Amino acid sequence: MKNGSVKLLSTFLGVCFAVAVVGYKPVIIVHGLFDGSKEFTYLVRLINQSHPGTSVLVIDLYDYKASLKALWKQVQGFRQAVLPIMQNAEDGVHLICFSQGGLICRGLISTLPDHNVHSFISLSSPQAGQYGDTDYLRHVFPTFVKAHLYKACYNSIGQKFSICNYWNDPHHREQYVKHSDYLAVLNSERPNPNATVWKKTFLRIKKLVLIGGPDDGVITPWESSHFGFYNDNETIVDMKDQDVYVKDVFGLKTLDSRGDLVICVFPGVKHTKWHSNDKVYRDCIEKWLT
């Protein structure tokens, strides 16, 4: 399917029945780095089993190698794909965003002033950034290890690659803040004239669900999926001690105080298995898709 298209994985009759009788909101799925819509067939099946007739839409855009494109470019493309879906969903939509897709969804939610996202489910996404040697990293930058990747990422050329947009080297924070065109801007770690508006827009969501676990094997540190991250000694600083939470930069603390921030820690799940694990779905996702 061509970029910009959407795969609708439910029947028209089923959608009409769901809206009229059950009222389930449409679910939009955004994939991660180096994957595409076909990886989410099992998750779609789980959703339709637990919420029959739900309109589940997997955005077929920036698949596989194209997922390396700069994240603001991807946000722009995904915005064009999801906006018509939102406009046709009177009661709102749910977002399930996997891995890198969770960061794309944050960009979408922050910059779409009239969005109607109800539940934003961030599924093993490096929300606080990434800093670790993984197979994904070696595939993109085979000659670099994590300690030296900042040299490739923290410049105008490096920022054309998605992984560099959220590469967060705790030993080179000043360079990260200066050069990160995406995560540092979303987090207002560098001056962002849109920060107040983006925060207000982000807080339109009704629920933020953060899912991750210690056996992920890709998201590094794994606590990044819950907005935890390394300090300069590579010791984990929990979400509630991070500046983005303490200063409530984009609304994380506000969501928590509202009771609308959900943390789901799930051990024993490898990175590529999050969206096909029945127990993860039952315990961490299903209840938020009504």
Active-site residue set: 99, 216, 271
Q: CA Rg, the chain, in Å?
A: 18
Please report the DSSP string for 269-286 in residue order: --GGGGGG-HHHIIIIIG
The C-alpha atoms of residue 98 and residue 272 are separated, in whole angstroms, by: 10
Please report the DSSP string for 81-122 in residue order: HHHHHHHT-TT-EEEEEETHHHHHHHHHHHH-TT--EEEEEE
Write out the H or E segment, with its range, that includes residue 176: helix 173-179
Q: What are phi and psi of 261, to 5 degrees?
A: -115, 120
Exposure string for 191-207, b = 16+ CB within 10 A, e = fewer:
ebeebeebbebbbbbbb
Helix axes 71-87, 100-111, angle to 10 degrees: 60
The two structure tokens encoding residue 275? 């969206």
